[in-house]
Amino acid sequence: MKITLPGKAATFQANQRERAEKQRKQLGVEARSWYRITNAASDTEAEVMLYDEIGGWFGATADEFIADLRGITAPNLRVRVNSPGGSVFEGIAIANALRSHPANVTVQVDGIAASIASVIAMSGDRIEMAPNTMLMIHDASGVCMGNAADMAEMGELLDLISDNIADAYAARAGGTRAEWRDRMRAETWYLPEDAVEAGLADEAVQTRKTAEPAEPDEDDQPDMVRPFDLAAYGYTGPRREQPKAEAGLTEDIRSLIGEEVATQLRAAVTLAEPAAEPAPQAPAAEPVDEWSALVAALIPDDTDDWSALVSHLTDPDTSSSAATDA
C-alpha cells in the first residue's frame, strides 16, 4: 500500500525535535535516557527496558536508541515496556529497528503500553502481558499553529498517521484498518486476557510460584537463624545433677576385698554409727490475752512519762499565774 504524506509531513518530525530542544534549553535540563540495555553481549538473552516517555520533550531521540541497539549480539532480546507513549515517529522508528534486528525479540509489557508504546509492542516476535498490565490504543494527536489551511493540513496528517498505526494492529491481530480505527477513536483499553483475545498479545503470563525451599543444612543457614553460640563465654551447657554414690562401700572396693569381707565391714560401720538424736522441739507458746494485747498500747509503761504529761494540770506554773493576775 502506498501512502502519500501531506506537503509539510516531511518537516513534521524535524519540527518536533527542534521544539523539544528549545524547551529543554529554556528549562535548563538535558535529554534524559528513557531506555536501558543490559547483557548486550550475552550468549543467551539481552534486555532492553523502555520505562518512560518515548522521545518527547525531555526524552532522547530514536537514533540514539538504534545506535545502541546495533551493539546487541545476544541471540535473544527481551524488550520490557512500561510507557505511556510519546513521539509517533520516534516510536515507529524504534519498532522498525526491533523488527529488523537479527535476535529473536520478545516484548514483555511490565506495566502499560499505551499509544505509540503499543505500536512498539507489535514489533516483537512474541508479545507477553505480565499480570495486571494494560495496553491502550487511540488516534494520533498533535499541536498546530497557523491559518485554516495549516489546520486542515494538520488534520489530514493526523488521520494518515492514525491509519498507519491501525495497519500495525491489523498486521499483528488481523482485521481491517477501519475496524481498528473505530477501536482507536474509542480509546480502547485491554487487560492481559483481553489483549490475547484481540490478537494483540500471545500470552497473559500468570504469576509464577516458586517451589517449596528445601530444608537448609546447618552450615547453610544464615547467621540470624543459627542458635546463639555461648561457648565464647565459657558456657558448656545446662548443669546436670551428678548421681549420688551408694552408701557404704562401692562395687570397685568389693571386687578388691571380696564380697564376704565387704559384708562384714558394712555391718561394722552400721553398728558404729550413733543413733540420730531427735530434733529439739520449740517451747510451747504462752497463751495470749487478746484484750491485754489490744489495750497495751493505751497504757504507758513509764509512770514518769505519764506524770510529765499531766503535770501542767496538777502543778500550775507560778510565773504563768503571776502574769495572768497582772
CATH number of 32-204: 3.90.226.10
Cβ neighbours for 269, distance < 8 A, ≥ 6 positions apart: 248
pTM over the 0.75 mark: no
What are 35's strand-pairing partners?
50
pLDDT at 118 over 80: yes
- What separation in angstroms does the CA of 177 have from each of 90, 153, 161? 22, 21, 12
Mean pLDDT of all residues in the chain? 77
Give 239-266 pLDDT, tens digit per residue.
666 555 555 545 556 666 667 767 777 7
Is 312 annotated as catalytic?
Answer: no
Q: In sequence order, what DSSP letters do the residues of 168-208 get, joined into one string?
A: HHHHHH-S-HHHHHHHHHTTEEE-HHHHHHHTS-SEEPPPP
Q: Grid coordinates in use for 16? A: 518536533
303-322 average pLDDT score: 56
Catalytic residue among 87, 123, 138, 162: 138
**Range among 9-18, 127-136, 260-269 rated most confident:** 127-136
Res 322 pLDDT > 50? no
Per annotation, catalytic residue among 83, 87, 101, 115: 115
- Interval 166-213: pLDDT, tens: 999 999 999 999 999 999 999 999 999 999 999 999 999 987 666 565
Domain ranges within the chain, ordered by starting residue: 32-204
Give the cell for residue 268. 561394722
Res 120 pLDDT > 70: yes
Mean pLDDT value across residues 219-228: 55
Whether residue 311 lies in the annotated active site = no
Whether the predicted pLDDT of 7 surpasses 80: no
Query: Does residue 2 have a pLDDT over 50?
Result: no
Tens of pLDDT, residue by residue over 49-89, are 999 888 765 555 788 888 899 999 999 999 999 999 988 98
From 20-24, 223-227, 253-257, the region with the lowest mean pLDDT: 223-227
User: Distance between CA atoms of 172 and 180, rounded to whole angstroms?
Assistant: 11
How many other CB atoms are there within 10 angstroms of residue 197's CB atom? 13
Residue 92 pLDDT more than 90?
yes
**pLDDT value of position 297:** 61
Q: Residue 26: what pLDDT?
A: 73
